Amino acid sequence: MAALSFELLAFIFGLLGNIISFLVFLAPLPTFYQIYTKKSSDGFQSIPYSVALFSAALLLYYAFLKTNAYMIVSINGIGCVIESIYLFLYVLYASKKSKVFTIGLVLIFNVGGLGVIVLFSLLLVEGPDRVTLVGWICAAINIAVFAAPLSIMKQVIQTKSVEFMPFTLSFFLTLCATMWFFYGFFVRDYYIALPNVLGFLLGFAQMMLYCIYKNAKKESVYELDELKAKNKGQSAEGKLYTPTKIHKADSINGKELELHQVVVSTAPDHN
């Protein structure tokens, strides 16, 4: 009876994790709609999508090795398709330099990195040790990806602005990590469960920061940089610095300045 209950709970949390992860995968749609309408991906970065594709592909490989991990297979299979479409659209409307850079990233992560892991695990490791090796690699990469929002949290504290850390996204990422933690717990897959503990803690910390700074006096990132330059007594050109506010709608060197945050697809997004 207990075993049946665990299986049912694992199914429920896995299903909820799939649904929430799918919605998080769709979060960048407004970004790519903007890229499509502008016919340009200038000002946006392809690194988050390249890393997300690598993470999803690696977890998909882990799920195949593990067998019967249908919940992990389903969401990461979908994730690979969605991230591939994002990267295709990015490259389609990117400058020549950005095209080369993005294609290079995909080759490094998804051909080089993933290929080395697959070949090494298949040729040099046997039986249960293969699942253990790939599981630890997945856990380590997921933990590293979870640490990525720390830079955004630092920015929030410095600028007292939550503009680039929306509460809704932080909430759903935290909820997603919670679902995958319990799924991993009930199927006794600690390579899935443990990284999501960190995901939950960081997501909760982001929501707390949002509550603290949502009504605080805001300073733009560029105003903060100017104030730092003032403290040094000189600007980048070596002249006395007079700080001025620069906001994201201002124009610099004839181009619209756009502050854009792309959330790296994290472990709970793709598990």
Q: What is the pLDDT of residues 131-156, one digit of tens each?
A: 999 999 999 998 888 877 787 888 88
Is residue 158 within 8 A of residue 224, CB to CB? The reply is yes
Helices 47-66 and 70-92: crossing angle, nearest 10°? 150
Helices 47-66 and 96-106: crossing angle, nearest 10°? 20
Q: Tell me the C-alpha distance between 220 and 228, whole Å.
A: 13
pLDDT at 233: 52
Q: Report the chain (271 residues): mean pLDDT per 10 consecutive residues.
A: 76 95 91 90 86 93 91 95 95 92 92 93 88 94 82 84 80 92 94 92 90 72 54 46 36 32 38 40
Which of 163, 136, 181 is CA-nearest to residue 218? 163
Q: Tell me the C-alpha distance between 249 and 259, whole Å.
A: 9
Counted domains in the chain: 1
Q: Tell me the C-alpha distance between 87 and 84, whole Å.
A: 5
Q: Tell me the C-alpha distance between 28 and 262, whole Å.
A: 7
Q: What is the pLDDT of residues 23-46, one digit of tens each?
A: 999 988 988 998 999 999 887 888
Backbone angles phi, psi at 47, to 5 degrees: -60, -45
pLDDT at 232: 56
For the entire predicted model, the pTM comes to 0.74
Is residue 64 within 8 A of residue 80, CB to CB? The reply is no
Q: Tell me the C-alpha distance between 56 and 75, whole Å.
A: 8
Domain span at 224: 2-270
